[in-house]
Every structure is written in structure tokens, then in C-alpha cells.
Amino acid sequence: MDDLLLSKIRLGVVAELLNAQWVSFTDLAHAIETTNGNLGAHLAKLVDAGYIAEEKTYAGRRPLSRYSLTESGRAAFVAHVRQLESLLSGASEG
Amino acid sequence: MDSSDAREHLEMVERIVAASSRKLDVSGELFLVWGLASGTLDLIVQLVSDGRVPGAAVWAGPLIVIAAVIYTAIRVRQYRAMPAGRMTLLEREFLNVLWIALSMAFAVNVIGGNMFSQWAQSAIWSVAAAIVLFYIAVHGNRRALVGAIVLLLSIALANFSLPIAGYVLAGGMYLGYAGFGLADMLARE
């Protein structure tokens, strides 16, 4: 399994980005229901691993941080979900 | 990680993915504005060719287009100034379809202008508008499907009523394109 995606918050972030071109920090914090500080720390780990990309831009005059899923992040997510599914099917067979 | 954790994580992923696979959300307002502008252009040209209004009225056409462009630019600028939460892959794809359909209609009108009569050029815009609405329709919007069908029907009807083709194509734009925009705006309220 992917160690980075064993965290429920990080897995949730990647799932949120799956169907999105980008999602803002505020929207992610709202969707994941966690504090800004906690989310920021998890996002930094995902950015460092190359799973997500961070873009700093402006909405009018307000600064806006937004995130998108990279190809390696998408591949890691798919592989991780497959392993979760096989763990479940293995458990139900056993 | 044990199987109950795996189940919990998978359920969360399914919940998030289901919620993020939303219907395509478009701005009905811009369809209303451009439907009214396009329909009015057809209407003016037909009225002038019927001699019901003075020939100088055709100059209202460029003014209407400029007004619609300015309005669109203002709204796009306002939209960009809002702290938008997200852009879905579906929304990005829609913008691509919108851009391709409208720019192709414009290009064909410019490069093939000598081949198309007045009403053929208008009909090309109706086809582009119908393509955009069909794209919205395949993502679960029945109002867009109705609008696209109305636009196609207006072309078919105009084909068999050439003396009043401008009125028919204008009607298609008013009902199909602007009508879709208005219906979508009302449905949100």
C-alpha cells in the first residue's frame, strides 16, 4: 500500500482532486472538514511527493492557493484503491 | 491496515467521488444574452430585406454584437475576481467545446463567406449553438436538449420557408438558445 495515502485526510484530498481541474485551499478545507493548519501540513506532504501540484494565484486582489492532481498522484491513487479492494476481497474470502 | 479500515477508506473515497461527479453547471445568463443578440441580428437583417425598416438599421447589428461582447467581458472579469472554489474537469471540457464550436463557426463564416448566402451564415451559428447545447444535454440537462432541438428545427423550418428564413432562425435563437438560458436561470432561483 502507499504509505502516503494511508492517511484518511490525504486520501480524501486526492479523491477530491480526482474529478477536478483544480480545487482551492478553502474548498478543500471545507470538503475535508479539518483545520487549515492540519490540511496545510498534509498538502505539503502530497506536494513534496509529487502527487499534487500547488499553484498560487489571485482571485481579484485576494491571494488564492489551488491544487491539482498530478499524473503520478492519479496513478498512486488508483493503485492504492486497488490494494484496498483486494484487501477487502481477501478478507471476505478468508 | 485491517479490513474495517480499508472499508472505511473506500466508502469515503466513493462518497467524495460521487459528490464531485456533478452535473455540468453553466451560466444561463450568457446564453440568454447571446441568444437575444444573435436572434436580434437575424431579425434586423430580415426586417431590412423586407423593407419594413430603413437600410441604415443594419448598423445596429455590429452595435448589438459589441454590447454583448462588452457584457461578456465584464461578467468574465467579475467571475475571475470571485474566489472560486474549484473547476471540475467537466467544466474545463465544456469551455473547450464552447470555444471550438463558436470559433469554428466564426472561421467558417469568414473563410467560406462567398459560398454561403446570408441565411446559411446564420444557420452555421445556429448549428454551433446546437452543438454547445447538445454537449450540455448529454450531461443530464433536459432544458439544453430541448434548446438544441429547437435550434435544429428552426434550421429545417427556415430551409422550407426561405422568404421568412430570418424570422425563423431568429425564433430558433430566441427560443432555443436564449430560452435555455432563461429557463436555466429560473431553475436555479
CA atoms lying within 13 Å on the CB side of residue B113: 4
Q: Is residue B8 part of a domain?
A: no
What would the mean pLDDT of A7-34 be, rounded to a whole number? 92
Please tell me the predicted confidence (pLDDT) of residue B18: 85
pLDDT in tens, A50-93: 999 999 988 777 788 999 999 999 999 999 999 999 988 887 76
d(CA A81, nearest CA chain B) in Å: 7
What are the chain A neighbours of B84 within 8 Å (beta carbons)?
24, 59
Mean pLDDT by 10 residues, chain B (189 residues): 89 88 78 96 94 92 93 84 75 90 93 88 96 94 96 97 96 97 89
Within a domain: residue B49?
yes
Interface contact A81-B17, CB threshold 8 A: no
Is A25's pLDDT higher than 90? yes
C-beta neighbour count of B120 within 10 angstroms = 15
Q: Which CATH class is domain A3-87?
A: mainly alpha
In this prediction, residue B84 carries a pLDDT of 66
In a domain, B5, yes or no: no
pLDDT of residue A39: 95
Inform me whether the C-beta atom of residue B67 falls under 8 Å from chain A C-beta atoms: no
- Res B22: pLDDT: 64
Residue B37 lies in a domain: yes
Closest CA to B138 of B12, B24, B19, B17: B24
How confident is the prediction for chain A on average, in pLDDT? Answer: 91
| 8 Å CB contact of B85 and A26 | yes
Enclosing domain of residue B92:
28-188
% of chain A at pLDDT higher than 70: 97
Residue B18 counted as domain residue? no
The verdict on B63 touching A (C-beta cutoff 8 Å) is: no
Interface residues of chain A, partner chain B, Cβ below 8 Å: 1, 6, 8, 11-12, 15-16, 18-24, 26-27, 30-31, 59-60, 62, 64, 81, 84-85, 87-88, 90-92
Cell numbers linked to B150: 429547437
- Distance (Å) from the C-alpha of residue B76 to the closest C-alpha of chain A? 12
Residue carrying C-alpha cell 429545417: B156
Distance CA B39, CA B136 (A): 21
Which pairs with CB-CB distance under 8 Å and at least 24 residues apart come from B122-128?
B122/B41, B122/B42, B122/B45, B122/B165, B122/B166, B122/B169, B123/B155, B123/B158, B123/B169, B125/B38, B125/B173, B126/B151, B126/B152, B126/B154, B126/B155, B126/B169, B126/B172, B126/B173, B126/B176, B127/B151, B127/B155, B128/B101, B128/B102, B128/B104
Report how many domains make up chain B. Answer: 1
Cell numbers for B160: 422550407
User: Chains A, B: CB contacts under 8 A, how many?
Assistant: 81
